[in-house]
Amino acid sequence: MSSKGTWIAGINAVSSALEHDIENVREVLIEAGGKNPRLTEIEETARRREISVRRIALQALDGVAGGLRHQGVIARYEAPKQVEESALPGLIEEAGGKALILVLDGIQDPHNLGACLRSAAAAAVTAVIIPKDKAAPINATVRKTSAGAADRIPVISVTNLARTLRAIKDAGVWVYGLDGEATAGIHGIDFTGNVALVLGGEGEGMRRLTREHCDQLVKIPMPGEMESLNVSVATGISLFEVVRQRLGATK
């Protein structure tokens, strides 16, 4: 059994990979005797696309999955190479004045990161920027939670986030940081041009240096008694405020 690539686990994750990223799926392992009809659907889809499928004992499947919750199926996936930071200026230029960049400063929970990437794909972001250190990597859990979005949008890992923020500002992008203490609300900001939205990680939010490199801090108005939102929820709300404005501007 080849160890090249990464293992993604679970019915939804493998189904999504077969639907959206089948060219990167190398083989599928299914629990021998598994009765879930969706396992049969996965097997039929993979065989139809000439992907290697094997039925193996549950104990063996558990061993390959390495603790991942697999629901009777895993797939070996060779992810596309991540986009290099040097590609950012070209991506911004190609967006034609409508670049939408999501910057995630230190999200630690892979489920949160995956959910953010799923929203980013739905909002057709130009790129997602994440730091290489002190943040969740793009792993099997992220891919599963993102429903394939992690490999359908440009995700760029950078070594120096502050430097990258300076670079995208130099490329004509206005950088907005989400901060609950800000005075301006997102609904009063014009997001129709080149925009980057910066959201901090769980707990502490944006780091000081990241905050200092934002052109403006904005907040999501919350009339209720909660002090903050989950970062993936805040990401979705913020991105789709941009989408709402841009769709309205084209009518």
Q: Are residues 63 and 137 in the same domain?
A: no
Task: Convert the pLDDT of each residue in 137-161 to its tens digit.
Answer: 887 678 778 877 887 899 999 999 9
Task: Convert the pLDDT of each residue in 86-130 to its tens digit.
Answer: 999 999 999 999 999 999 998 999 899 999 999 999 999 999 999
Position 150 scores a pLDDT of 80
Task: Convert the pLDDT of each residue in 229-246 to its tens digit.
Answer: 899 999 999 999 999 999
CATH number at residue 221: 3.40.1280.10
Predicted confidence (pLDDT) at residue 81 exceeds the cutoff of 70? no
**Does the residue 1 lie in any domain?**
no
Q: 229 a known binding residue?
A: yes
Q: Are residues 134 and 244 in the same domain?
A: yes
Position 135 scores a pLDDT of 87
Q: Report yes or no: 164 and 91 within 8 Å, Cβ to Cβ.
A: no
Q: Report yes or no: 29 and 73 within 8 Å, Cβ to Cβ.
A: yes
Of 28, 51, 77, the position where a domain reaches its end is 77
Q: Are residues 18 and 137 in the same domain?
A: no
Predicted confidence (pLDDT) at residue 64 exceeds the cutoff of 80? yes
CATH number at residue 39: 3.30.1330.30
Cα distances from 17 to residues 30, 66, 87, 170, in angstroms, run 15, 19, 25, 37
Position 143 scores a pLDDT of 75
Q: What are phi and psi of 214, to 5 degrees?
A: -85, 145
Q: Are residues 97 and 152 in the same domain?
A: yes
Q: 220 a known binding residue?
A: yes
Q: Are residues 138 and 218 in the same domain?
A: yes
At position 119, the amino acid (one-letter code) is S
Q: Which has more confidence, 224 or 129?
A: 129
Position 4 scores a pLDDT of 59
The residue range of the domain holding 89 is 85-249
Position 250 scores a pLDDT of 58
DSSP 152-180: TS-EEEES-HHHHHHHHHHTT-EEEEE-T
Q: Are residues 23 and 71 in the same domain?
A: yes
Predicted confidence (pLDDT) at residue 1 exceeds the cutoff of 50? no
Segment 30-48 mean pLDDT: 95
Q: What is the mean pLDDT of the chain?
A: 90
Task: Convert the pLDDT of each residue in 155-196 to its tens digit.
Answer: 999 999 999 999 999 999 999 999 988 999 999 999 999 999
